[in-house]
């Protein structure tokens, strides 16, 4: 899918979920990340990368620490790598490949033959010219990255959306016929015999006409000796609509002798999000991970991005979004804990709070509203370290006798001027580079200056 940036930023807020709403959802232990949990299970946890986003510290920190696989969101597609016939350009794709090496991640190639993001010159070729161009494109791109890419989406979205399992009427289908997919896989095998070769598509997560058509294709390829190693299930899902037969569907493909993987996971909702939707989304993310983990040949799960800030969903589905596991401000949602739990993370009650070092946290204190003798305060805590915080306690002191009367997203105790905010049951984890926020109402008299010193689990935080 095309990367699209959502315009505007939502107000900084942590997902507020009723404790009963995610009673089964835990969080990774203090020193764990999604990456370490996935590594322990021998599975991939991946994300789609646009290299320019690495200039944002929060994005880069999460990308570096939470994932063991990276796929280029757009940098390896045909329009990016061969915009003019025979003239190849690998600048952004090489950046992704170098990033994978620098951060010890697997590199997943996406994609070689796809009807979308296709330069106009491709569609203007005759059948013979088109076949030659496809062969040359696959061979040149795969040879350039030979030995670097663990698996390729060789053919992407080859089947139609009409629900009958027919082929998509793409330029490849129109000019080359049904044989173009097998030909692409044979060319790909010759170009890089060691890379796994995958077919990738959407709306095939459950058993339906489209998934059955791909199942039949894979079955026939295996019988005919066409080289195919894996099937990618994009999984652009909607909250509450994870197919009940997803696990059985993954297993039936695996039984054909191919690997399966979830390749482009996001789970969208009608926006704005709320506590109920976020809780349901967390359950859905957990279900997808569990479905994959239950199938031995499921290699792992890749999310189509990191943050809602850059999700393609709002640009394509107006009124929908909030589909990823970090929000637009890099605050981890309940879905983060759900994924961690599915991967074997421990629950908050069984993990001791982590203690960050001095300067490894940042606190922003704001007063969104103030009236007569009352005010609303907000604290946003950012974990600036490379280690996840699990279980947090923020301590600060008021300088003018202010008193907190009510709090949310945290439990509060106050002794004289000193205030202690502790995590609620649903938000104990702060991933590296991520934030969590809590708010409160209070009373004041005379003046209402902001606190100047904050400690997180005993460590002094910077402010601002």
∠ at Cα 54 (51, 59), nearest 5°? 125
Q: In terms of Cα–Cα distance, which of 256, 334, 266 is closest to 295?
A: 256
User: Which of 66, 73, 82, 157 is an active site residue?
Assistant: 157
Catalytic, out of 73, 205, 264, 328: 264
- Report yes or no: 99 and 54 within 8 Å, Cβ to Cβ: yes
Contact 300, 69 (CB under 8 A): yes
The answer to whether the bond into 144 is cis (omega within 30° of 0) is: no
Asked if residues 262 and 301 have their Cβ atoms less than 8 Å apart, the reply is yes
Torsional class of 155: left (φ above 0), alpha (ψ -120 to 50), beta (otherwise) = beta
CA distance 386 to 371: 40
Residue from 237, 175, 226 nearest 198 by CA: 226
| Paired strand residues for 201 | 233
| Per-residue tokens: 120 | 């106009």
Question: What are φ and ψ of residue 21, in 5° steps?
Answer: -70, -25
CA 133 to chain centre: 33
Residue closest to 15 by CA, chosen among 428, 432, 463, 441? 428
- Is 157 a residue of the active site? yes
- What sign does the CA torsion over 293, 278, 405, 435 have? positive
Q: Is the link from the previous residue into 272 a cis peptide, with omega within 30 of 0?
A: yes
Asked if residue 180 has a cis previous peptide bond (ω within 30° of 0), the answer is no
**Which residues carry out catalysis?**
157, 264
């Amino acid at each position: 899918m095309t990367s699209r940036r959502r315009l505007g930023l939502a107000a900084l807020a942590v997902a507020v979920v009723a404790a009963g709403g995610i009673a089964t959802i835990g969080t990774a232990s203090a020193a764990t990340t999604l990456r370490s949990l996935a590594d322990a299970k021998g599975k991939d946890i991946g994300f789609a990368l646009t290299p320019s986003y690495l200039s944002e510290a929060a994005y880069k920190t999460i990308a570096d620490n939470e994932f063991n696989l990276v796929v280029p969101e757009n940098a390896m597609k045909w329009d990016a790598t061969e915009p003019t016939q025979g003239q190849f350009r690998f600048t952004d794709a090489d950046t992704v490949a170098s990033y994978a090496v620098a951060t010890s991640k697997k590199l997943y190639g996406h994609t070689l033959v796809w009807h979308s993001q296709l330069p106009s010159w491709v569609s203007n070729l005759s059948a013979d010219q088109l076949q030659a161009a496809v062969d040359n494109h696959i061979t040149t791109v795969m040879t350039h990255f030979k030995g670097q890419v663990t698996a390729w989406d060789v053919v992407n979205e080859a089947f139609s959306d009409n629900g009958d399992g027919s082929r998509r009427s793409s330029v490849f289908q129109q000019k080359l016929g049904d044989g173009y997919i097998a030909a692409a896989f044979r060319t790909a095998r010759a170009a890089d015999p060691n890379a796994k070769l995958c077919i990738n598509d959407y709306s095939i997560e459950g058993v339906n006409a489209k998934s059955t058509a791909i199942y039949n294709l894979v079955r026939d390829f295996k019988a005919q000796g066409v080289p195919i190693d894996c099937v990618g299930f994009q999984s652009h899902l909607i909250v509450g609509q994870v197919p009940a037969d997803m696990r059985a569907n993954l297993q039936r493909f695996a039984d054909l002798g191919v690997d399966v993987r979830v390749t482009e996971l996001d789970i969208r909702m009608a926006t704005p999000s709320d506590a109920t939707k976020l809780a349901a989304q967390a359950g859905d993310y957990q279900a997808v991970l569990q479905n994959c983990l239950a199938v031995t040949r499921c290699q792992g799960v890749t999310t189509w991005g990191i943050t809602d800030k850059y999700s393609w969903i709002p640009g394509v589905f107006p009124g929908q979004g909030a589909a990823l596991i970090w929000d637009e401000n890099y605050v981890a949602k309940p879905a983060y804990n759900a994924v961690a739990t599915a991967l074997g993370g421990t629950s908050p009650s069984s993990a001791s709070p982590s203690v960050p070092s001095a300067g490894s946290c940042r606190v922003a204190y704001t007063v969104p509203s103030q009236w007569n003798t009352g005010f609303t305060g907000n604290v946003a805590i950012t974990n600036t370290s490379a280690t996840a915080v699990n279980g947090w306690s923020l301590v600060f002191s008021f300088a003018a006798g202010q008193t907190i009367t009510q709090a949310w997203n945290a439990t509060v105790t106050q002794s004289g001027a000193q205030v202690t905010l502790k995590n609620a049951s649903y938000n104990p984890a702060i991933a590296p580079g991520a934030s969590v926020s809590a708010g409160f109402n209070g009373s004041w008299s005379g003046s209402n200056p902001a606190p100047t010193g904050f400690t997180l689990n005993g460590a002094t935080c910077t402010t601002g």
